[in-house]
Every structure is written in C-alpha cells, then in structure tokens.
Structure 1
Amino acid sequence: METIGKIRGVYAGKAVPFTRPGTFSAIDKQPVAGPVAVGTEGLQCDEQGDRRVHGGPDKAVHVYAWPNYAHWRTQFPDNRRFDAAPAFGENLSVEGVDETTVCLGDQWRVGTVLFEVSQGRQPCWKLNDRFGIADMARRVQDSLLAGWYLRVLEPGELQAGDDIRLVQRPHGEWSVARVLAVIRDRQCEPALMQELLELGLPASWQRLFARRLEAGQVEDWQSRLGEGS
C-alpha cells in the first residue's frame, strides 16, 4: 500500500444550539488525543447537529486538507477562524492529499480503519455564520476547497500522526474536485450524468445527477447556501 498522506489532527464535537432559532450544530469540534474508535457512523465521540444532511454511513467522517487554510488566510487575513483546524468542522485534518488528488471510491487504511471516499462536501449556510462571512458557503463551493466524506468499511481505531495508505483507486479519473466542479458549473450533459451515475455514489448524489439527467435542469442552491435568507 502506498502512503499518500498523514492525519494531522483528529476532532470531535457535541451538537449544541447554533446561530439561528431551532438549529443545532457540532461544527465547533475539539482535538481528540490518543487512539479514537471509529465505527460505521463515524468517530465514537462525535455528534452531528442535523442528521437530515449530516452524518450517516455515507458521511461518517469529514476530512479537510490543512493546506487549504492558507488560501482562506490570504482571502481573509483578519479572520482568526482560519488560523487553526478544525474551523470547517472536520473530523480529520490531513496533509499530503486534497480535493485534486483524492478520488471517489478511493480506499484508505488509516490505523486499523478501512475507509472509502464517498462524496465531496456541499457547503451550507452554517459556514456563513461560522466565519461571519455572508457568502462563505458560496466561496467554498466556487473554490472547490470543500473537503470530502468517508464511509467506514472496516471499523477500528486511528489517531493523529497516522499515515494514510491507499489500498485501491477504482475511479482515478474522478477526483473530488472534478465532481464538485460538475456540480458548481451546472453541467447536465446526459453522457456525463450517466457516467457519474455508474460510480456507485451515495443516494443523495445519485438523486442529484439523476434529476439533472432526466430534467436537464440544475437544482436550486439558494436555501443551502443561505442566499436571500
């Protein structure tokens, strides 16, 4: 197995009331020291604030590349949120891999856990409130620096400092960034949608690309991105 990166930090959080009435979030995660148990629903000590759109087997663990923070510090040098992970609510802060080098379906061995890259993150309005930047979710979507999710194929333990070892890569032509660009760029070409639907994507992305294929139209992002709210 090829070593492709390293776990820089491991983070978990509890769901607490968030910025808007009736909303909850576990985005304010804290470092976890030592070995952490990971099951099919994610880190044993982690929670999600809105299970309709976060968590579950296909979004068990959220990963964000530490080098991405340099981009955001350049954009917002006075915003201290970008000084340290896990500002984006990530469970794993990683080095050596990013959205351009990680592909859908990649299988990783980290510690004793076997992961599979399931999908990229589609940012929502909670990032706007988290960073105090009205269009942060849109900026993250446009930049393709959104992070990605892992499903757990074999539960186990991991910890900060563990290597990321690539077990297999069945879809090397489909990086996370490439798929996120298809979404961002409002692409609906039938052949492209059909190819994506054959990748074994999670149900939510299957529905997204199936609707684009059938209707030739792009889904409405306004509510998710917090635009006009």
Structure 2
Amino acid sequence: MKIISLFAGEPRLLETATEEKLRTAIHKSSANSLRITKQGIQGDDVANTKHHGGPDRVVCLYSLEHYASWEAEYGHPMQTPGAGENVLTEGMTEDKVRIGDMFRMGTALLQVTQGRVPCRTLAVYNNMPDLHLRFKETGWTGYFMRILEEGTVTGQSAVELVSTDPAACTVAEANHILFHQKEDAAAARRLFQSPGLAQVWSELLSARLR
C-alpha cells in the first residue's frame, strides 16, 4: 500500500468538453502535503454536500489501478485526479479494504466509512459517457474516510493498516449491497452491522430494513 499523489481544491465553475458548466470541486490541484482535521482538509472543499463532505467523508481515496482500465475502455486519458480524489493510492482497491478499517497516513489516523457515490459530474468532467454508471457497475467507486486523529499527510508518508475487522464488508461488497442488492435484507443487515459505517449509509440501510 502506498500513496501516489495528493490533491486539494475549492469548488469553482468548470467548463467541460461539451461546453456544459458545472460548479464542482472535482478539479483539484496537486499538493505536496495535506493538513487534515476532523472537519475537513485545509484548502479543500466540496460543492455537492449531499454526496460529499461532512465528518464521515473528509478524505476521498481512489486507486491508480483503475485508471488504465477506464482509459482503455474509453480510448483516452482520464483527468488527474479523475475521481476528484484527495489521495491517489496503489494497493488499496475496494476489494482489499473494509468498512471500518483504520489506516495511519503520516501523523493522521483515518477510518474507512463508505464507498463514493458516483454522480454524472464524473462522466462530464472526464468526457467519458456514463462513467458514473460504470463506477456503480464495477464497484470501482473509491471511498471516503473520517479522521480519528488529525495530522498531516505527505506524498512520502507510509500507509499502515492499524485495525481491521475480518467480518466487516469490503468496500466492494458494500457498494454491491447498496447499489445492486436493494431487496436483500440479509446483505443490508450485514453492511449495517459493519463497525465504522458512515451515518448516512446507516440511515439508508435502516430505512431499507424497515
């Protein structure tokens, strides 16, 4: 597991290849380090507060491994960062990381809370039609993390898995349950019981179970 790149950025009006204008923070700039607090990353913010931001969704991670697959499928490079991620990693794909996993990155301690819910901005920004739907189909969504201990992460920081629960859902499993198993009460219950799950997903699953 390692950090490849770090990114931060504020929301702004973005003109796309289709001349559509979007107010979004997906277009972030490279950063040498990130100062991370429990409420957010300094110099970083979100535009869509329904699916991003808040104490359960401070840091967004995405995997370098997925870039080549998307670029091969669509025939041209993704933007960087293509998923609006703060941390681009290697060796931390959704099938290897569990809800509730705790990672030490630099001086910060972070906990995985939920998969990233993909929106149409991904497709428009990358000029890759229906990319947000392909994110859901594959489960290659990236994921969010809350901050248990504030600190600073640099591009040279090591990544250490501090705690994991083998019974918890992987992010890939969590995505599949949320997006594709809407009538499966047993699956919903298993995800609901995953320690560390984001409050918004807990509420959604609770309503589904009712």
TM-score (norm 1): 0.83
For 1:51, which of 49, 52, 55 is the aligned residue?
Answer: 49
SS at structure 1 position matched to 2:104 = strand
1:52 positional shift = 3.1
SS at structure 2 position matched to 1:59 = coil
Identity of aligned residues (%): 29
Counterpart amino acid of residue 106 in structure 1: D
RMSD across aligned positions (CA)? 1.7
1:16 positional shift = 0.6
Q: In the alignment, which residue of structure 2 is the partner of 1:11?
A: 7
Residue pair 2:169, 2:190 contacting (<8 A) in 1 also: no
Aligned-partner Cα distance in 1 for 2:180–2:115 = 15
SS at structure 2 position matched to 1:57 = coil
1:18 positional shift = 4.1
Residue pair 1:105, 1:171 contacting (<8 A) in 2 also: no
Residues 98/164 of structure 1: CA separation in 2 closer, same or farther (3 Å cut) = same
- Please tell me whether residue 132 in structure 1 is matched to residue 130 in structure 2: no
1:173 positional shift = 4.2
Residue pair 2:168, 2:194 contacting (<8 A) in 1 also: no
Q: In the alignment, which residue of structure 1 is the partner of 2:209?
A: 213
Counterpart amino acid of residue 145 in structure 2: L
Gaps of 5+ in 1: 215-229
Q: Residue by residue, what CA displacement relative to the aligned partner does 1:31-86 show, whole Å, maximum 9, x if unpaired? A: 002x3211112321111112233111111000001111111111012x2325xx31
Q: How many equivalent pairs are there?
A: 205
SS at structure 1 position matched to 2:26 = coil
Residue pair 1:188, 1:213 contacting (<8 A) in 2 also: no
Residues 72/168 of structure 1: CA separation in 2 closer, same or farther (3 Å cut) = same
Q: In the alignment, which residue of structure 2 is the partner of 1:217?
A: none
For 1:170, which of 156, 162, 165 is the aligned residue?
Answer: 165
Aligned-partner Cα distance in 2 for 1:123–1:97 = 18
Counterpart amino acid of residue 68 in structure 1: H
- Please tell me whether residue 141 in structure 1 is matched to residue 109 in structure 2: no
For 2:189, which of 171, 178, 194 is the aligned residue?
Answer: 194
Gaps of 5+ in 2: none
1:172 positional shift = 4.6
For 1:64, which of 62, 65, 74 is the aligned residue?
Answer: 62
Aligned-partner Cα distance in 1 for 2:134–2:185 = 27
Q: In the alignment, which residue of structure 2 is the partner of 1:31?
A: 30
1:185 positional shift = 1.8
Q: Residue by residue, what CA displacement relative to the aligned partner does 1:165-204 show, whole Å, maximum 9, x if unpaired? A: 0100024541100111112323422222222222242221
Residues 68/172 of structure 1: CA separation in 2 closer, same or farther (3 Å cut) = farther
Aligned-partner Cα distance in 1 for 2:184–2:91 = 33
Q: Residue by residue, what CA displacement relative to the aligned partner does 1:115-158 show, whole Å, maximum 9, x if unpaired? A: 00011111011112112233111011101111000100000111
SS at structure 2 position matched to 1:150 = strand
Q: Residue by residue, what CA displacement relative to the aligned partner does 1:74-102 show, whole Å, maximum 9, x if unpaired? A: 1012x2325xx311100000011110000
